[in-house]
């Protein structure tokens, strides 16, 4: 399956809905979207990965790149993911300590709001 990307603003936070497979072929599209959002002044991001079927290290690199970009503007990039097979790759690489990973978009937004 290809990669579908959509985004919308909720409570001042830009939510990116990702569906499909994030790999060496499709990850550049996610990278471009994250760069566009940051360049457009969106520094509070939530990436919803509930419909992601596959994620590899290229995708992880894109997410880390996005995190570094928003942090340069004192922003944040949180993830929504409850799928064990996706969470596993975050654990293997130690990135569970780097990202805020939430069970739902509402929870991610609420967590971000409470930190403000």
User: Is there a contact between 104 and 46 (Cβ–Cβ < 8 Å)?
Assistant: no
The one among 5, 19, 54, 87 contacting another protein by CB under 8 A:
54
Q: Toward another protein, which CB reaches closer, 4 or 106? A: 4
Q: Considering the rule CB under 8 A, would residue 19 count as an interface residue with another protein? A: no
- Give the helix ranges, DSSP H, for the chain: 27-39, 57-71, 84-92, 105-115
Q: Considering the rule CB under 8 A, would residue 52 count as an interface residue with another protein? A: no
Residue 18's Cβ-count burial label (10 Å; 0-12, 13-18, 19+) is buried
Interface ranges with another protein (CB under 8 A): 21, 23-25, 54, 56-58, 60-61, 64, 67-68, 85, 88-89, 92-93, 95, 97-98
């Amino acid at each position: 399956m290809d990669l579908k990307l959509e985004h919308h603003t909720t409570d001042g936070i830009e939510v990116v809905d990702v569906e499909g497979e994030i790999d060496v072929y499709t990850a550049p599209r996610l990278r471009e979207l994250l760069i566009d959002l940051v360049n457009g002044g969106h520094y509070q991001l939530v990436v919803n990965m509930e419909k992601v079927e596959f994620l590899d290290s290229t995708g992880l690199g894109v997410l880390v790149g996005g995190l570094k970009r928003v942090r340069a503007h004192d922003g944040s990039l949180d993830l929504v993911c409850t799928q064990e097979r996706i969470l596993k790759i975050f654990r293997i690489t130690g990135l569970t300590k780097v990202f805020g990973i939430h069970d739902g978009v509402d929870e991610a937004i609420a967590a971000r709001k409470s930190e403000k």
